[in-house]
Amino acid sequence: MKTKTNSAHFWLFLWGLGLAGQLCWNIENQWFNTFVYAKIAKDSTIVTLMVVTSALVTTFSTFLFGTLSDRIGSRRKFIAFGYIAWGIFTIVFGFTEFLNTGIVAMGAKSSIWIAFLVILIDNIMSFFGSMGNDSGFSAWSNDLTTNQNRGQVGAVLAFLPVIGTIIGTVAGGLLIGSDDNYNRLFWCMGIFVITAGILSLLFLKDSPTLLPHRNGTLWQQFTAVFRSKGLFTQKELLLVCVTTALFFISFNIYFVHMGNWMIYRMGFGADSMGLIQGIGLLLASLLVIPCIGLINRDKTPIITFAAIIINMAGLWILALFIRPENVDTQKLFSPQNLLLFFAIFLAGAGYILVVQSMTMWVKQLYPQESRGQFEGIRVLFFTLIPMIIGTVIGNIIIKNGAGSIVNEYGITENIPTESIYLWAALLLIFPMIPLLFGTKAYYKRVKEGASQKGSVHIPK
Residue-wise pLDDT for 128-143, tens only, equals 999 999 888 988 888 8
pLDDT at 403: 65
- What φ, ψ does residue 417 adopt, rounded to 5°? -120, 180
Residue 454 pLDDT > 50: no
Q: Sorting pLDDT into bands at 50, 70 and 90, what band is 289?
A: confident
Higher pLDDT: 97 or 430? It is 430
Q: Which residues contact 204 (CB under 8 A, 6 or more apart)?
A: 1, 13, 17, 76, 79, 80, 140
pLDDT at 3 over 70: no
Strand partners, 406: 412
- The per-residue pLDDT for 243 is 97
Give SS3 for 407: coil
Measured CA distances, 54 to 41, 119, 129, 244 (Å): 19, 8, 10, 19
The pLDDT confidence band at residue 389, using thresholds 50, 70 and 90, is very high
What confidence tier does 380 reach under pLDDT thresholds 50, 70, 90? confident
| Residue 377 banded pLDDT, cuts 50, 70, 90 | confident
pLDDT level of residue 453 (50, 70, 90 thresholds): very low
Percentage of the chain exceeding pLDDT 70 = 87
HSE of 329, CA atoms in CB hemisphere, 13 A: 15
pLDDT given for residue 410 in this prediction? 60
Listed ranges 26-30, 97-101, 116-120, 214-218; the one with the highest mean pLDDT: 116-120
Mean pLDDT across 377-406? 84
Binned at pLDDT 50, 70 and 90, residue 426 comes out as very high
Q: Which domains are assigned to the chain?
A: 8-447 (1.20.1250.20)
Confidence grade of residue 69 (pLDDT, cut at 50, 70, 90): confident
* AA letter at 124: I
Name the more confident of 57 and 275: 57
Calculate mean pLDDT across residues 39-43. Answer: 80
Please state which of the ranges 76-90, 114-128, 133-147, 228-242 shows the lowest mean pLDDT. 228-242
Out of 31-35, 322-326, 395-399, give the one with best mean pLDDT.
322-326
Reply yes or no on whether the pLDDT at 303 is more than 70: yes
Give the predicted TM-score (pTM) of the model. 0.75
Question: Which is higher by pLDDT, 385 or 105?
Answer: 385
**12-33: average pLDDT:** 88
Residue % of the chain over a pLDDT of 90: 40
The pLDDT value recorded for residue 103 is 45
pLDDT score of 1: 47
pLDDT in tens, 175-194: 887 788 899 999 999 999 99
pLDDT of residue 251: 96
pLDDT for res 432 = 97
| CA–CA gap between residue 336 and residue 331 (Å, rounded) | 9
Count CA atoms within 13 Å of residue 387 on its CB side: 21
Q: What is the DSSP string of 236-305?
A: HHHHHHHHHHHHHHHHHHHHHHHHHIIIIII---HHHHHHHHHHHHHHHHTTHHHHHHHHHTT-HHHHHH
Question: 31 with 172: CB under 8 angstroms?
Answer: yes
Most trustworthy range by pLDDT among 37-41, 266-270, 273-277, 365-369: 266-270
Sign of CA dihedral 72, 58, 155, 299: negative
Residue 238: pLDDT over 50: yes
Digit-coded pLDDT (tens) for 101-155: 544 444 545 567 888 888 999 999 999 999 999 888 988 888 887 777 776 787 7
What is the mean predicted confidence (pLDDT) over 150-175? 78
User: What is 329-396 written as a DSSP string?
Assistant: SSSTT-GGGHHHHHHHHHHHHHHHHHHHHHHHHHHTTS-GGGHHHHHHHHHIIIIIHHHHHHHHHHHH
CA 242, CA 246: separation in Å to the nearest integer? 6
Three-state secondary structure call for residue 413: strand
Residue 457, pLDDT score: 46
Please say if the pLDDT value at position 196 is more than 60. Answer: yes
Residue 378 confidence (pLDDT): 81
Distance (Å, whole) CA 354 – CA 255: 15
pLDDT recorded at residue 371: 65
